[in-house]
């Protein structure tokens, strides 16, 4: 059907994102020793503007994620919606920053591919086994469940079934929760994405939702407070020494184009803070 074809095109976007990240890491913009196991080839060259845009996107998202983990002393959970082939679980494990449990949700077909890679590549499977206490680890075609990492195949537009699956895998609504969506809500209708954001506001009393998207699509439904920065602003506040380093990696003569590109995107974050975690928080 038409909607199957449309969903297939959406699923394919995870390859685009990971190929761009793979290319940027091969150029030295940031380090990701795990992405090679999901995208084997470095692939075609990408324009420096694209690489710098991905650099700002990844640094910006990581900054908010790490701030949340430090604030809660990792006594929290993270849900990455539309995670695709994202490698954040392995970075957090290496940096000793794993939350109590890290959840990912994507379409069953994307999840099946990700699980296949994990099963067949020891550098991916070892960290999951190491952080798991019992000898039984649940892996089937469409889900993986271990003590600290859970991957769920589900459609984010079907909330009752999403809610049921997350609870089946021990999602705890009482725990401070970080929800991430990086270039995902844009593939749904505004009504569908509002319902997901609203579900999150209803489900957790202490939570932060971080969304990376095109600027126009920013939403606010049932959250106490929300902020947004466009990526040109994010780019300008990234650490100066690292910026100087990445700007030397590839020559860029049209600075104007990069500015225009960055201005089309934003990171927004919304929070609910019943536990008053943010009270003493000056840095985030």
In the complex, the residues that contact ligand SAM under the rule CB under 6 A are 10-11, 13-14, 17-18, 82-84, 86, 106-107, 110, 155-157, 182-184, 187-188
Nearer Cβ to ligand SAM (83/166): 83
Nearer Cβ to ligand SAM (110/258): 110
Q: Least distance from C-beta 66 to ligand SAM, angstroms? A: 17
Nearer Cβ to ligand SAM (30/187): 187
Nearer Cβ to ligand SAM (206/213): 213
Q: By Cβ distance, which residue is nearest to ligand SAM?
A: 82
Kindly report the backbone phi and psi dihedral angles of residue 81, in degrees, each rounded to the nearest multiple of 5, phi listed first.
-80, 130
- Return the SS3 of 70: helix
Name the β-bridge partners of 227: 269
What is the distance of C-alpha 254 from the center of its chain?
A: 30
Nearer Cβ to ligand SAM (58/206): 58
Q: Least distance from C-beta 56 to ligand SAM, angstroms? A: 13
CA distances to 69, 92, 101, 150, 173 from 76, rounded to whole Å, are 7, 13, 7, 14, 10
Task: Check: CB of residue 268 under 8 Å from CB of residue 214.
Answer: no
- Return the SS3 of 149: strand
Nearer Cβ to ligand SAM (152/270): 152
Q: Least distance from C-beta 254 to ligand SAM, angstroms? A: 25
Name the β-bridge partners of 101: 77
Residue 20: closest CA among 34, 47, 12, 33: 47
* Residues in Cβ contact with 136 at an 8 Å cutoff, skipping those fewer than 6 apart: none
Nearer Cβ to ligand SAM (9/281): 9
CA distances to 14, 18, 44, 51 from 40, rounded to whole Å, are 14, 10, 12, 18
Q: Least distance from C-beta 9 to ligand SAM, angstroms? A: 10
Q: Quickly list DSSP for 215-234.
A: GGG---SS-SEEEEEEHHHH
Kindly report the backbone phi and psi dihedral angles of residue 90, in degrees, each rounded to the nearest multiple of 5, phi listed first.
-70, -35
- Return the SS3 of 79: strand
Q: Least distance from C-beta 207 to ligand SAM, angstroms? A: 19
Q: Least distance from C-beta 116 to ligand SAM, angstroms? A: 15
Q: Least distance from C-beta 58 to ligand SAM, angstroms? A: 9
Q: Which two tokens stand for residue 78?
A: 């993270």
């Amino acid at each position: 059907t038409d909607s199957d074809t449309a969903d297939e095109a959406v699923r394919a976007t995870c390859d685009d994102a990971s190929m761009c990240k793979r290319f940027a890491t091969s150029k030295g913009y940031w380090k990701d020793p795990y992405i090679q196991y999901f995208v084997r080839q470095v692939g075609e060259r990408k324009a420096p503007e694209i690489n710098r845009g991905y650099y700002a996107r990844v640094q910006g998202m990581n900054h908010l994620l790490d701030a949340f983990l430090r604030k809660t002393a990792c006594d929290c959970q993270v849900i990455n919606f539309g995670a695709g082939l994202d490698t954040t679980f392995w970075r957090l494990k290496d940096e000793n920053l794993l939350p109590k449990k890290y959840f990912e949700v994507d379409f069953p077909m994307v999840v099946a591919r990700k699980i296949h890679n994990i099963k067949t590549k020891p550098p991916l499977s070892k960290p999951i086994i190491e952080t798991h206490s019992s000898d039984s680890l649940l892996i089937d075609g469409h889900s993986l469940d271990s003590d600290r990492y859970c991957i769920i195949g589900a459609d984010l537009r079907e909330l009752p079934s999403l809610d049921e699956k997350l609870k089946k895998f021990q999602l705890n609504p009482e725990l401070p929760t970080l929800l991430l969506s990086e270039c995902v809500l844009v593939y749904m209708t505004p009504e569908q994405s509002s319902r997901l954001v609203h579900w999150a506001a209803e489900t957790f009393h202490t939570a932060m939702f971080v969304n990376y998207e095109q600027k126009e699509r920013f939403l606010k439904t049932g959250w106490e407070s929300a902020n947004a920065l466009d990526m040109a602003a994010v780019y300008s506040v990234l650490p100066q020494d690292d910026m100087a380093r990445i700007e030397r990696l590839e020559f860029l003569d049209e600075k104007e184009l990069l500015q225009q590109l960055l201005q089309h995107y934003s990171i927004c974050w919304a929070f609910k803070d019943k536990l008053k975690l943010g009270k003493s928080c000056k840095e985030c």
